[in-house]
Structure 1
Amino acid sequence: MDYKYINQLVERYWRCETTLEEEAILKAFFSQERIPADLQRYKALFCYEQQAAKDDVLGEEFDKKILAMTAEPTKVKARTITMTQRLKPLFKAAAVVAIMLTLGNAAQVPFNEDSYPTAGTVKTHEGGASVALRDSATIDSLQHSSVEMVASPQSGLLK
């Protein structure tokens, strides 16, 4: 048997010059059981669509699963958010700022609250300078505590 027409159609198929009717002829020819040996290599190409259509059919169980998944409406879980829940990050930020300011102010205050030397805090040294410093510290502390100074004994001698 001469398969010259089929060979011509295959060559035109590879050059993309065949019509849909000619491709249908090729598919019908290669779907037969008896094909010449030199054209046997093209059988898988033209019979693939028919074989794949039979193999790739999904079962009824798949259709049921898909329909069951699409049929159920999903419930939307809405919840209300109160004003305190919305402002909670703002409260946290304000607390952090307050702590930082408090620590900053505390770091500026010296550990000793008395900035003026008093008579008890001045150390006495051997020499006259410490005595003068102690007397001036006593006078300063008396002036700060708004106590009047007692008249010195020299004023009694002048009489």
Structure 2
Amino acid sequence: MDYKYIEQLLERYWNCETSVEEEQILRIFFQQKELPAHLRRYRSLFTYQEEAAGMKLGDDFDKRVLAEIERPVVKARKLTLYSRFMPLFKAAAMMLLLFTLGGVVKHATEEGGTSGIVYVHDQFENRQENPQVAYEGDSVKTLIRETSSKPRLEENSNR
């Protein structure tokens, strides 16, 4: 089958020289099921109007559009001073926490190069080895007196 006339119409169509009747001929031609391979790529261009004409708005379209237009106005909520500054309070609390932890870590690592064990060692340095001290009356006062008197004696002898 010879498609020279259709090819000529296509050429005139691309140059915008066709009439409405000639464009209708092209639309009818491209609605056929059997098309040559070199003309199949133009089918969607000429069948688009037929497919678009078949699409229609639903019955509830007007209702949906009016519902969108008539939505209630959202009122602005009041911002309290507390809610405005809450992010700043949170940031300040995090900074305080970081500085506190940083100070503790720095203090623990500066003293003699030991990593925090200094505090535990200082608490148990002057402990009693004798279990009999626990049975004596006022053993806590005795223990405090004994441990507190030793450093004072050493401090006095150093001066």
What TM-score does the superposition give when structure 1 sets the normalisation length? 0.44
Larger radius of gyration: 1
Higher RCO by CA contacts (8 Å cutoff, separation 6 or greater): 1
